[in-house]
Amino acid sequence: MTAQYTHGHHDSVLRSHSWRTAQNSCAYLLSSLTPNMHILDVGCGPGTITADLAKLVPAGHVTGIERSVEDVLQKARDHAAAQGVINITYAIDDVLALSFPDNSFDVVHAHQVLQHVSDPILALKEMLRVAKPGGIVAARDTDFEAMTWFPESKGIALWRKTHQQVARSNGGEPDAGRRMLSWALAAGLPKAQITASASTWCYSTPEEIAWWTSTWADRVLSSEFATSALERGFATQQDLDAMSQGWKTWSSQPDAWFGLLHGEILCHKV
C-alpha cells in the first residue's frame, strides 16, 4: 500500500519546505561528501536541499525525485536554475520501488520522508540497494511527540494530536525520529554499520516565531491535512479554527519558544 502524503503541497507547506538548506537539514551528512559524488535525493520537494547538495559535489551529480508531483519538481528545477546549479536532474520515482539499477549512487539521502511512507523498512532497503558498496544512506525525520513549546497552548496540543491521527490514518508514522535506528536494523544492517544521531530546529526570535507560526496557522486550515482531518472525523471546522488561532495566540507571547527533535541515521553499505 502506498501511503498518502499528509501535508500535500499547499503554498503554506512549500513555504516551510523552501526554508530548508543542506546546513540546517542534513549537517550530519555533509562531512561525508566529496566533490565527485553522485547523490540521490529522495522526496526532494521544492529542491532547496537538493540544489545545496549539488553545489557541494561540483564534479558529481545529484538526482532529485518525487513520487507524483510534477509541479513541485518544476519549482525545484526553477530553483536550481536561479541558483546556477547545472549538475542536477529531477524525476518522478517511488522510494518503495526505485527505478535505478543496483549500486548507482554514492549517497542516497532522504529528509522528512520515512515518516510518510507505508513501509519505511522497505524504503531503506531500496535506498541501500541503489547505494554503491562503500556508499551511504542518510535519513533524517522529525518526531512529533517529541516537539515541545512554551508557553503551553491547548490549540497547539490539539494540532499535534490531530496531526498524529491524520498521519497514521494515511499510513505513515509521525513519531519517526525515535524509530530511525530500529528501522535501519530491521532493513538488515548490522549496528556497526549505522551511525545514529539527533539534531534540533529551534524557533525563538520574533522573526522565527512569526514565520513558523504562519506556516502552521495556514496549513491547519488550507492543506491536505485539513481536508483529511475533516473527512475522517478527527476534527471539526471549529477544531481547525481553534488550532489555527492557538498558533497565532501562542506566537504573540514574548517568551514563545518551539523546539523540534530529529532522529538521523548514516547507514554505511559494505
pLDDT tens-digit readout, 120-138? 999 999 999 999 999 999 9
pLDDT at 5: 74
Torsional sign, CA 211, 216, 221, 225: positive
Paired with 148 in beta bridges are: 259
Asked if 251 contacts 203 with a C-beta cutoff of 8 angstroms, the reply is: no
Whole-angstrom distance, CA of residue 143 vs CA of residue 3: 18
Q: What is the mean pLDDT of residues 48-53?
A: 97
Paired with 89 in beta bridges are: 63
Which amino acid is located at 117 in the chain?
V
Domain ranges of the chain: 11-268
Is domain 11-268 classified as CATH 3.40.50.150? yes
C-alpha dist (Å) from residue 192 to 9, 131, 196: 38, 18, 10
pTM check: above 0.75: yes
3-state secondary structure of 166: helix
**Cell 518551539 identifies what position?**
258
pLDDT at 83 over 60: yes
Give residue-wise pLDDT tens across range 138-181.
999 999 999 999 999 999 999 999 999 999 999 999 999 999 99
**Cell 523498512 identifies what position?**
121
pLDDT at 23 over 90: yes
Band the pLDDT of 16: cuts 50, 70, 90.
low
pLDDT at 1 over 60: no
What is the DSSP code string of 45-94? TTSHHHHHHHHH-TTSEEEEEESS-HHHHHHHHHHHHHHT--SEEEEE--
Paired with 264 in beta bridges are: 140, 197
Q: What is the mean pLDDT of residues 68-83?
A: 89
pLDDT at 13 over 90: no
Least confident of 31-45, 117-131, 209-223, 247-261: 209-223
Whole-angstrom distance, CA of residue 27 vs CA of residue 254: 30
C-alpha dist (Å) from residue 253 to 16, 87, 150, 209: 22, 45, 9, 10
